[in-house]
Amino acid sequence: MSILRSQVVGCGSYLPARIVTNAELAARVDTSDEWIVQRTGIRQRHVAADDEPTSIVGLKAAQAAITDAGIDPTEIDLIIVATATPDHTFPATATQIQAALGITGGAAFDVQAVCSGFVFALATADKFLTTGGARAALVIGAETFSRILDWEDRATCVLFGDGAGAVVLKAAPGEGTLADRGILTTHIRSDGRYKDKLYVDGGAGSTKTVGFLRMEGKEVFRHAVTNLAETVRHTFEQTGLSGADIDWFVPHQANRRIIDATADKLGISHDHVVVTVDRHGNTSAASIPLALAEAHADGRIKQGQLVLIEAMGGGFTWGSALIRW
Ligand code: UT7
């Protein structure tokens, strides 16, 4: 049966130049390189300059992805930006990136699912591309979490970083089998009962302030491993695949211990896992496309391979996608 698939035709990323090491943070709050590395695996993170809002960080990743794809930007008729740190309450950061790319056709909008945002955005783009609603989509995860961190709170300020990653997707014919190139499955979930475990304590519609990130880390950790394993099990049930079939597992990069525990639960060996958390920290919606871009650029992820992504974030939200690269 001939169907449409969303194929990844380009991938790119951008990291702000400034690197903040654990030692630098230890000089500001009561923490240590040893604690941060042991509990999270993070050694450093990138922080955007004052004149680098999320739209600029996202634009640079988008330009890299478009160059990698080798297409004219005007071919793109759908732009979705996953971000929890938009430049403004409105308009959407996606429209700013659209304008900067010189694109005036199609639609551009933001998706808000915090750390799961890239998976939600990818799932949304896939629906448009596979139903004929768009022909070429740019899906961007872009964040400047440094701006919503309470730099006095050692329990959160050591965890996050800034950056962006992007993919270009094109609708292309497939046979409807797992051998097709493109997005093969997506699963997204949310459960708003857990709002207080991970949230920002301000907003345009409530406090009229931006607010700071607050998190009950242990609780989030506990739910993360369970929810991530659940969403991937749905993928395995739907496809008949197992952890041994996955060429590259590219999880949301929040904590090395969560990544390892999830890979173990799913039977995925650690040498098939792409890890960037040590150098990027948790970049929320940007973490998966940043990791995809790195492993794509250095030749680990090759065309035709099976790539599994998953994420969990505030809300709670969580989800996964299986892609044949
Ligand atoms: O991307 C969205 C999803 N987010 C996540 O997935 C994050 C999930 N959670 C985590 O990654 C971990 O829970 C953390 C890394 C945030 C914390 O690790 P933990 O092993 O759960 O530590 P904890 O929160 O239970 O804290 C243990 C101790 C506490 O001290 P006491 O009460 O035992 O005396 C904390 O006050 O570590 C203390 N602590 C710190 N010590 C040094 C907390 N933060 C720090 C710090 N430096 N930065």
DSSP 22-52: HHHHHTTSS--HHHHHHHH---EEEE--TT-
Ligand 1 atom index nearest CA of 224: 6
Going by C-alpha positions, the residue among 200, 154, 166, 147 that lies closest to residue 314 is 200
Q: Annotated catalytic, 11?
A: no
Mean pLDDT taken over the chain:
98
Q: How many CB atoms lie within 10 A of CB 80?
A: 27
Q: Does 233 score more than 80 pLDDT?
A: yes
**Residues in contact with ligand 1 (CB, 6 Å cut-off):** 31, 35, 39-40, 115, 154-155, 158, 217-218, 220-221, 224, 254-255, 258, 282, 312-313
Q: How far apart are CA 6 and CA 122, in angstroms?
A: 9
Which of 11, 22, 46, 115 is catalytic? The answer is 115
Q: Annotated catalytic, 252?
A: yes
309, 251 in Cβ contact below 8 A? yes
84: buried, middle or exposed (CB in 10 Å: 19+, 13-18, 0-12)? buried
Q: pLDDT digit string (tens) for 134-166?
A: 999 999 999 999 999 999 999 999 999 999 999
312, 223 in Cβ contact below 8 A? yes
Q: Annotated catalytic, 255?
A: no
The residue whose CB lies within 8 Å of the most ligand 1 atoms, and thus the one to mutate among 32, 35, 39, is 39
The residue whose CB lies within 8 Å of the most ligand 1 atoms, and thus the one to mutate among 214, 221, 283, 290, is 221
Which three-class secondary structure state does DSSP give residue 78? strand
Q: pLDDT digit string (tens) for 192-203?
A: 999 999 999 999
What one-letter code names the amino acid at 39?
A: R
Q: pLDDT digit string (tens) for 19-49?
A: 999 999 999 999 999 999 999 999 999 999 9
| Residue 1 pLDDT | 77
pTM: 0.98
Sign of CA dihedral 264, 265, 269, 275: negative
| Residue 52 pLDDT | 98
Q: How far apart are CA 230 and CA 195, in angstroms?
A: 20
Containing 75, the helix (H) or strand (E) segment is: none
Which two structure tokens, joined as six digits, stand for 45? 């993170």
Going by C-alpha positions, the residue among 116, 282, 83, 255 that lies closest to residue 191 is 116
Average pLDDT over residues 238-259: 98
What one-letter code names the amino acid at 119?
A: V
Whose alpha carbon is nearest atom 30 of ligand 1?
Answer: 155
